[in-house]
Structure 1
């Protein structure tokens, strides 16, 4: 029986998606893997269908479930929560711009088992040089510590525990938002769980590969916020 449900939401960015999936399928641990395709272009969809048969994971095309345009993270989270609760195992989200190591998934499961009252357990993200990067560049000191964090955990590579999944129904997530990692992190602490950042569990993060316009936040913040406000993008 699987020890976890692992999911990857995908929106194009075929090159990073291929790296993400390959790394997950080569990772150690006993888990079931699902890829949620959020209205990607035909080339990406074709790759996912072919890779699913070849590598042995499940692919769910959101176009078969909803007519709502991408991003559909709320639907992904709701479907994933149900998969995890049906199996009574934690949910691990690994996004399509993240490359895990062979021990990443097992390390998150081990931390969940040893730390007190975990709600979320996040792997820290690094760049190609091994330095902590977005969204954890507020961490300035490298270590292998597992820290109780008051910061929100990103869903780049994060475990959500079964007790928290049982207590908070993702059907309650807001309809007018696109992303939910900040809200769910806060909700976890609000209802009494502890969130942990695993500084020694490092994963490569290639930020915003599937939605490159979001890089404007760092290159041209004025244009980014104009797009965010007037086009109603990136609603957190």
Structure 2
């Protein structure tokens, strides 16, 4: 029961990532500007797969607000979670919201991403890209259902009988603990299996989609923007999955043990 509850807590923190400044470190994907386009390993004009080698220069110019004469580093960073998004403040800290529109309004109103420059605070629309990733790729329903099944498993395990005192045939008291109902044990085990399966699929999909999106962002902006997967979110996802898998293993071992003991008693 403790392992299942810890799993629920970890998955809850994961789902609530980027909904407040205190949870800004729990994110699936981070998008930011590189402020300089690194040279390609193979020059673009020599790569046979590139049709238009001038795009790298175009994206570099856009990312620096069309080559402003007073270049200032773009400090904007967007972090995307399951339920919210966070934006870096120029003064430090994070501005977090459950909607991308709030982040865009903050940039328009404060100009927090630019210093002494009249360009756009988000020239490559990283806020929009993060919102598209959150709305089109991120899927938290499986995690929610997984936590529901884990709670159901905990409720079933809470019905297992505990230790109590009984009098034996000789009149002396002894502590006994009856076996739990076999049907309830199997139902709790099935619930934990469903929870573990859904948590595993969610963690795998989260890891895969974040890594793929990060690679695509770097490629499509030709190095003008960069993306990183959130280590904390990956750890929380896989740790929550591992804990519920331990619950499954424990319940299976318990059911098999009770079966052997019943056979011995018979």
Q: Same fold per TM (> 0.5)?
A: no
* Larger RCO: 1 or 2 (CA < 8 Å, sep 6+): 2
Would you tell me which structure has more strand in proportion to its own residues? 1
Report the structure number with the largest CA radius of gyration: 2
Structure-1-length-normalised TM-score: 0.23
Structure-2-length-normalised TM-score: 0.21
